[in-house]
């Protein structure tokens, strides 16, 4: 049993279809029962996968008798769900084939499909391509499953939370926890939580409109004296941001494979009043260049250039230590290791910092059930936290992360 690859692009007014390839195996061939329905999953951005039930094409046989080496294609289809937007990952559970990514364009004015809003359902993309090599002994892996009835909504003004967040909420900066000891023998753990929210999911995934690509982000970073009595937090930075983000501008060059851009406003403070109060507000522009094959090991260079719109009096000289540019460079593969380095240079003397983070998928160490990364980091210089921005620190840590650059 195998699956035809879906196309790279699809339209919402065309059916979502998956084609299963059955093949005869063994000296006497194979006798195969063809299920009436097949359940696939669609994953939109960072949201959890959502099931979609596809129905067998009209006229397709319920049973196949295939001789050795004989193959038969059977298609299953449904309508695209209303919540589906942009780049969607298509998986066929139970069939030994890697997932595919389909870029869906919503057709303006198309009516919503009633059963598409069902959390347990979702339609599949028109499938074309070359079938993979037949697999043996997998006939029972695709089980017949009756369609899930559409839910009854008593108040359409109250959105389903899963539908509302699907494709909108995603990771922003790395989210991780790590512990380590600095050069003075202080045990300082560090954890960071970061996400971004997209206000509008455009019908056209290639839209470059301002509001179609407007995001809100929130990042919280804490330094934690985890070994001290009562385990107090040394400092916590709160960093909300509003920005325009285009992952791919479409600009091409012989020296880079893709260019994205991010620009907006960001506030950072530690939420404390009095002499320990710290705060800055910046306007920033961040071009993002990828060099090489973005689906394999490649280099990314992303300088974040900013202007201080406001600086609190308690940290009036912060530019001496942070400067005006964060230079982020990463090298790695989406399914392998990655090294990310952020460099800063203050405007005075030798002040600056280096922040290096190495990550490796835990799934490669402990199996596919592990969804996080091994995280190993080093920070050296000034400004790891905003409270002690003018204090030098060198520290190595180890931990885990659920996302990375």
All residues at 6 or more sequence positions from 248 whose CB lies less than 8 Å from its CB, including other chains? 258, 259, 260
Q: Quick one: pLDDT at residue 114? A: 38
Worst-scoring range by mean pLDDT, 59-73, 169-183, 283-297, 324-338?
A: 59-73
320: left (phi over 0), alpha (psi -120 to 50) or beta: alpha
Instruction: Verify that 37 and 83 share a domain, yes or no.
Output: yes
pTM above 0.75, yes or no: no
Nearest to 125, CA basis, from 79, 62, 93:
79
Q: Quick one: pLDDT at residue 150? A: 41
**Using one digit for the tens of pLDDT, what is the confidence trace for 23-80?**
888 788 888 899 999 999 998 766 678 899 999 999 888 998 888 888 889 999 999 9
**Using one digit for the tens of pLDDT, what is the confidence trace for 90-115?**
988 877 777 888 888 888 765 444 34
Instruction: Verify that 334 and 211 share a domain, yes or no.
Output: yes
Most confident of 64-73, 131-140, 165-174, 396-405: 396-405
Nearest to 50, CA basis, from 119, 97, 142:
119
| Range 293-320 average pLDDT | 96
Q: Quick one: pLDDT at residue 68? A: 86
In this predicted structure, the answer to whether residue 125 has a pLDDT above a threshold of 70 is no
Question: Across the strands, what pairs with 71?
Answer: 23
Worst-scoring range by mean pLDDT, 7-16, 160-169, 313-322, 349-358?
A: 160-169
Q: Quick one: pLDDT at residue 171? A: 93
Instruction: Verify that 223 and 135 share a domain, yes or no.
Output: no
Question: Across the strands, what pairs with 21?
Answer: 2, 73
When the pLDDT of each residue in the chain is averaged and rounded to a whole number, the result is 85
CA 108, 114, 118, 121 torsion-angle sign: negative
Instruction: Verify that 280 and 232 share a domain, yes or no.
Output: yes
**Using one digit for the tens of pLDDT, what is the confidence trace for 303-314?**
999 999 999 999
Tell me the C-alpha distance between 11 and 142, whole Å: 26
Instruction: Verify that 47 and 119 share a domain, yes or no.
Output: yes
Q: Does 65 fall in a domain?
A: yes
Instruction: Verify that 251 and 391 share a domain, yes or no.
Output: yes
In this predicted structure, the answer to whether residue 10 has a pLDDT above a threshold of 50 is yes
Q: Quick one: pLDDT at residue 194? A: 97
Nearest to 395, CA basis, from 363, 366, 359, 354:
354
Contact of 40 with 93, CB cutoff 8 Å = yes
Q: Does 149 fall in a domain?
A: no
Which one has a higher pLDDT value, 355 or 250? 355
Please tell me the total count of domains within the chain. Answer: 2
Tell me the C-alpha distance between 195 and 292, whole Å: 27
Final residue in a domain of this structure, among 97, 122, 141: 141
Most confident of 140-144, 183-187, 267-271, 346-350: 267-271
CATH number where 60 lies = 2.60.40
Tell me the C-alpha distance between 211 and 206, whole Å: 13
Q: Determine the structural domain holding residue 76 and report its residue range.
A: 2-141
Q: Quick one: pLDDT at residue 381? A: 97
Instruction: Verify that 135 and 176 share a domain, yes or no.
Output: no
Tell me the C-alpha distance between 87 and 105, whole Å: 9
| DSSP-derived secondary structure for 290-346 | EES-TTSSEEEEEEEEEEEEEE-GGGTTTHHHHTTEEEEEEEE-TTS-EEEEEEEE-
**Using one digit for the tens of pLDDT, what is the confidence trace for 141-173?**
333 333 433 444 444 455 555 556 667 899 999
165 to 48, 108, 204, 228: CA distances (angstroms): 10, 21, 18, 39
Q: pLDDT band at 87, cuts 50/70/90?
A: confident
Tell me the C-alpha distance between 21 and 131, whole Å: 7
Q: pLDDT band at 193, cuts 50/70/90?
A: very high
Instruction: Verify that 118 and 179 share a domain, yes or no.
Output: no
**Helix (H/G/I), strand (E/B), else coil: 234:** strand
155 to 4, 119, 158: CA distances (angstroms): 40, 17, 6
Instruction: Verify that 343 and 395 share a domain, yes or no.
Output: yes
Total residues belonging to the chain: 405
Q: Quick one: pLDDT at residue 158? A: 53
Instruction: Verify that 225 and 279 share a domain, yes or no.
Output: yes
Phi, psi at 163, each rounded to 5°: -65, -40
Q: Where are the beta strands (DSSP E) in 140-270?
A: 169-171, 176-182, 189-198, 214-224, 233-246, 258-269
Q: Does 162 fall in a domain?
A: no
In this predicted structure, the answer to whether residue 302 has a pLDDT above a threshold of 50 is yes
Burial class (CB in 10 A: 0-12, 13-18, 19+), 254: exposed
Copy the structure tokens of residue 77: 């289809």
């Amino acid at each position: 049993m195998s699956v035809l690859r879906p196309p790279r692009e699809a339209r919402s007014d065309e059916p979502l279809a998956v084609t299963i390839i059955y093949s005869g195996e063994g000296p006497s061939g194979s006798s195969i029962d063809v299920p009436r329905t097949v359940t696939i999953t669609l994953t939109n951005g960072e949201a959890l996968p959502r099931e979609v039930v596809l129905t067998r094409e009209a006229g397709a046989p319920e049973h196949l008798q295939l001789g050795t080496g004989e193959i038969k294609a059977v298609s299953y289809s449904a309508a695209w769900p209303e919540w589906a937007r942009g780049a969607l990952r298509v998986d066929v559970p139970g069939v030994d084939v890697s997932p595919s990514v389909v870029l869906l364009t919503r057709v303006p004015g198309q009516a919503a499909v009633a059963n598409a809003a069902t959390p347990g359902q979702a339609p599949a993309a028109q499938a074309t391509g070359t079938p993979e090599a037949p697999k043996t002994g997998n006939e029972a892996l695709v089980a017949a499953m009756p369609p899930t009835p559409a839910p009854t909504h008593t108040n359409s003004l109250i959105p389903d939370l899963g539908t509302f967040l699907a494709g909108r909420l995603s990771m922003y900066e790395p989210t991780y926890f790590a512990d380590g000891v600095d050069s003075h023998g202080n045990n300082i753990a560090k954890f960071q939580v970061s996400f971004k929210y997209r206000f509008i999911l455009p019908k056209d995934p290639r839209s470059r409109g301002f509001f179609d690509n407007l995001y809100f982000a929130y990042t919280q970073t804490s330094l934690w004296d985890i070994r001290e009595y009562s385990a107090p937090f040394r400092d916590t930075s709160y960093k909300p941001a509003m920005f325009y983000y285009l992952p791919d501008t479409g600009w091409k060059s012989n020296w880079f494979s893709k260019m994205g851009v991010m620009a907006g406003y960001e506030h950072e403070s530690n939420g404390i009043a009095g002499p320990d109060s710290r705060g800055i507000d910046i306007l920033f522009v961040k071009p993002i260049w990828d060099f090489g094959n973005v689906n394999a090991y490649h280099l990314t260079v992303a300088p974040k250039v900013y202007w201080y719109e406001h600086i609190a009096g308690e940290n009036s000289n912060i530019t001496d230590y942070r400067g005006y540019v964060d230079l982020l460079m990463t090298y790695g593969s989406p399914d392998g290791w990655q090294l990310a380095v952020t460099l800063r240079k203050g405007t005075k003397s030798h002040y600056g910092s280096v922040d290096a983070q190495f990550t490796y998928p835990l799934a490669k160490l402990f199996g596919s059930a592990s969804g996080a990364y091994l995280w190993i980091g080093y920070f050296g210089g000034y400004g790891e936290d905003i409270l002690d921005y003018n204090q030098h620190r060198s520290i190595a840590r180890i931990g885990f992360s659920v996302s990375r650059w």
